[in-house]
């Protein structure tokens, strides 16, 4: 069974940094692209970033480009999202999701999410 467990969320001040992690199990991690999707309180889903199976290709939404960095450690079956220069509008539940293939096209399995709150 595919399992994705996010961690690392919490309260951070504007301008601060946070690193999210996603521990994956139940599939060959390095064979699949992975994504981060977020959902602000009471709002819809927003695609944030994706990374190919090898980590060689990365993709970002305009809203986070230059501030967030996606990465992965295939030896640890773990996905990361380094978030810098955080803003109030980054407050959201952040979901880790497994893609259907080696390259990013769409997400087929999601974790339960971790909450990030940016506030002073």
Partner 1 sequence: SYELTQPPSVSVSPGQTARITCSGDALPKKYAYWYQQKSGQAPVLVIYEDSKRPSGIPERFSGSSSGTMATLTISGAQVEDEADYYCYSTDSSGNHRGVFGGGTKLTVL
Which of 107, 114, 116, 118 binds partner 1 (CB under 8 A)? It is 107
Q: Cβ of residue 59: shortest distance to partner 1, in angstroms? A: 5
Helix (H, G, I), strand (E, B) or coil at 88: helix
Question: Per CB under 8 A, does 3 bind partner 1?
Answer: no
> Residue 28: exposed, middle, or buried by beta-carbon count in 10 A (0-12, 13-18, 19+)?
exposed
Question: Per CB under 8 A, does 44 bind partner 1?
Answer: yes
Total interface residues for partner 1 by CB under 8 A: 25
Question: Where in 74-118 does DSSP place strands (E)?
Answer: 78-83, 92-99, 107-110, 114-118
47-106 residues near partner 1, rule: CB under 8 A: 47, 50, 57, 59-62, 95, 100, 103-106
Any idea what the Cα angle at residue 5 is, between residues 13 and 23, rounded to 5°?
95
Question: Per CB under 8 A, does 27 bind partner 1?
Answer: no
- Positive or negative CA dihedral for 95, 57, 61, 20? positive
Q: Cβ of residue 13: shortest distance to partner 1, in angstroms? A: 27
Q: Which residues bind partner 1 (CB under 8 A)?
A: 35, 37, 44-47, 50, 57, 59-62, 95, 100, 103-113
């Amino acid at each position: 069974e595919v399992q994705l467990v996010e961690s690392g969320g919490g309260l951070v001040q504007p301008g601060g940094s946070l690193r999210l992690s996603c521990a994956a199990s139940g599939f060959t991690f390095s064979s699949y692209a992975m994504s981060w999707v977020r959902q602000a309180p009471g709002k819809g889903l927003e695609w944030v970033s994706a990374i190919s199976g090898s980590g060689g290709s990365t993709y970002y939404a305009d809203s986070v480009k230059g501030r967030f960095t996606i990465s992965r450690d295939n030896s640890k079956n773990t996905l990361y999202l380094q978030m810098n220069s955080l803003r109030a509008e980054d407050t959201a539940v952040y979901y880790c999701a497994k893609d259907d293939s080696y390259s990013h096209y769409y997400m087929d399995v999601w974790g339960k999410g971790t909450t990030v709150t940016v506030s002073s």
